[in-house]
Amino acid sequence: MHNISKVFMFELKSILSKKSMIITTAIISIVLVIITTVPTIISLFDQGEIIPIPQDKISMMGFGFVIENEAVTIDELNLFFVDVEIFESEADLRKALNNEKITQAFIVTSPTSLTTIVINRELYSNASYPIQNALTQLQIQRNLIELELDPQKVNEAYNVKIAINEEVIGKDASDSFMIAYVLMFAVYMLVIMYGAMVSTSVAREKDNRTMELLITSTKPDALIIGKVFANGLAGVLQFGFIMLVGVLGIVINRANYPAEILSVVVGGLRWDSMLVFLVFTFFGYLLYLFIYASLGSLVSKMEDVSSSVAPITLLFIAAYIVATLGLQMPESVIVRIGSYVPFTAILAMPVRYFLTAVSWLELGISLTLMTLTAWLFARISIDIYRLGSLNYGNKMSFIKALGQIREDRRK
């Protein structure tokens, strides 16, 4: 136990004192401060009350119109749009478009036809739809008048409003979507970054023969446990500090946040959800770090680290994909199954719990499976690390290492 604490403190100090970690943390924290302060900055430069655009009208700022043959009137266009800019001729319209004074132009050639002119057309562009819809509505009104029908009464007949009173018994996913996504992405970055860091650290010690000196004074068990817990705590401290900066930025500037944004950002923060998130992150994080450390011990050269840890990295990316699917369909079969598989439950179960109702029995089963798997792979990783510390030949595969460990135990 004493040796574990010594290795732990040495590794933790070396990680936290790295310039790369300090600079990265500082840069991300500064960016977060700026992002969370944007509403306050906007309010400082607000020059006065902004005149709201009517909800039933669309702003045509940056668009230009030419109306030929008196196809429609300006008053008719103003029924649907604001900021309508009319040009005298097509030549003037094209000139303004070429000089980038406007971004898109419309030539209304008749009550039911128009020409659209754009500089560049985006893949899914449908900027003509508003004017197309307006011309359609105007022509419908003309047709009704010709049929001697009152357009106002026809509109009233079609204007049926259905009152909906929705009662949510469980959880409202719209309140928790944003916080679930942010936390999921934070855990993804945490495992990827510090998993690679611990495997690289172990491989470097083998590459420069430092491990030979370490194992003469410290047991391999103490080395891997100390390294894993040191890297784990360093990652938690770094990401915890960054998240604290983000939370403080929101709290300080919350008076300038629109109510809708504030509801999306903090609406899903509940103590039970955060507890589930922290518990599953803790065990899943340790599970992956032990595996990363053991895989790093199976190589003798630094350049082999990436290929050695590639399978577990791909597995964690698969877990991220399952959790991303859970953000959209938390009750889908693949997400429900993924919330019980220890390698994917680290992300899938917290996402499910944030967005939908999950029973305590389901949580208990998933957590038990993850805890047992983390303990099992911790034991396996310690054995692999002990085996790898003595192997300075070619890179050994994870499966081959397991076979070698089984043979050693039989002897």
Q: Are residues 266 and 187 in the same domain?
A: yes
Q: pLDDT averaged over the chain?
A: 81
For residue 118, the SS3 value is strand
* pLDDT value at residue 388: 64
Residues 317-371 have pLDDT tens digits of 999 999 999 888 888 899 999 999 999 999 999 999 888 888 899 999 999 999 9
pLDDT tens readout for residues 10-29 = 778 888 888 888 898 899 88
Task: Check residue 168 and give its pLDDT.
Answer: 57
Do 153 and 177 sit in the same domain of this protein? no
Query: What does the pLDDT look like over 357-394, one tens digit per residue?
Result: 888 999 999 999 999 998 988 888 888 777 766 665 55
141 within domain boundaries: yes
**In 4-128, beta strands by DSSP E:** 58-59, 63-67, 81-82, 104-110, 113-118
Q: Tell me how far apart the alpha carbons of residues 316 and 139 are, in angstroms, rounded to a whole number.
A: 57
Domain count, the chain: 2
Per the CB < 8 A criterion, the answer to whether 300 and 202 are in contact is no
Residues 325, 379, single domain; the answer is yes
Look-up: residue for tokens 């100090």? 13
Q: Is residue 123 part of a domain?
A: yes
Range from 100-109, 238-247, 299-308 carrying the lowest mean pLDDT: 299-308
DSSP string, 225-285: HHHHHHHHHHHHHHHHHHHHHHHHHHHHHGGGS-HHHHHHHHTT--HHHHHHHHHHHHHHH
270 and 329 both lie in a single domain: yes
In a domain, 166, yes or no: no
Q: pLDDT for 307-317, tens place per residue?
A: 888 889 999 99
Could you give phi then psi for residue 144, rounded to 5 degrees?
-65, -40
Q: Residue 284: which of 240, 345, 237, 326 has the closest Cα?
A: 345
Residue 391 lies in a domain: yes
What is the mean pLDDT of the segment spanning 282-305?
84
28 and 72 share a domain?
no
Q: Which has the higher per-residue pLDDT, 140 or 170?
A: 140
Could you read off the pLDDT of 179-218 as tens digits, one per residue? 888 889 989 999 998 888 888 887 777 666 555 555 555 6
184, part of any domain:
yes
C-beta of residue 258 within 8 angstroms of C-beta of residue 164: no
SS3 117: strand
Cα–Cα distance list, 68 to 74, 89, 114 (Å): 12, 9, 10
Same domain, residue pair 269 and 307: yes
Flag whether 372 is in a domain. yes
225 and 363 together in one domain = yes
Q: Which of 157, 180, 207 is the last residue of a domain?
A: 157
From CA 335, how far away is CA 235, in angstroms rounded? 27
User: Is residue 83 located within the same domain as residue 215?
Assistant: no
Region 50-56 average pLDDT: 50
Lowest-confidence segment of 18-22, 52-56, 231-235, 296-300 by average pLDDT: 52-56
The pLDDT of 47-72, averaged and rounded, is 72
Q: Is residue 44 part of a domain?
A: no
End-to-end CA distance of the chain: 28
Phi first, then psi: what are they for 107, rounded to 5°?
A: -115, 110
**244 and 361 co-located in one domain:** yes
Across the range 112-122, mean pLDDT stands at 80
Torsion of CA 191, 197, 202, 208, to 10 degrees: 170
Containing structural domain, residue 81: 61-157
Ranges 136-150, 340-354, 396-410, most confident: 340-354
Of the residues 89, 124, 157, the one at which a domain ends = 157
241 and 387 in one domain? yes
Mean pLDDT, to the nearest integer, of 42-47?
66
pTM of the model: 0.69
Give the CATH number for residue 104: 3.40.190
Which residues 6+ apart lie within 8 Å of 219 measured at CB? 3
Token pair belonging to 340: 């019980």
381 Cβ contact partners less than 8 Å away, ≥ 6 residues apart: 224, 290, 291, 293, 294
Domain-ending residue, one of 157, 182, 208? 157
218 and 359 inside one domain: yes
Question: Can you give the pLDDT at residue 311?
Answer: 87
* Four-residue CA torsion sign, 119, 123, 127, 132: positive
Give, in degrees to the nearest 5, the angle at Cα 148 between 146 and 152.
100
Statement to judge: residues 243 and 357 lie in one domain:
yes
Phi then psi for residue 385, to 5 deg, are -65, -40
Q: Cβ-count burial of 222 within 10 angstroms (0-12 exposed, 13-18 middle, 19+ buried)?
A: buried
Task: For residue 66, list its beta bridge partners.
Answer: 107
Specify if 356 maps to a domain. yes
pLDDT at residue number 98: 87
CB 316 within 8 A of CB 288: yes
- Calculate the alpha carbon distances from 4 to 74, 157, 218, 220, 250 in Å: 80, 79, 9, 10, 39
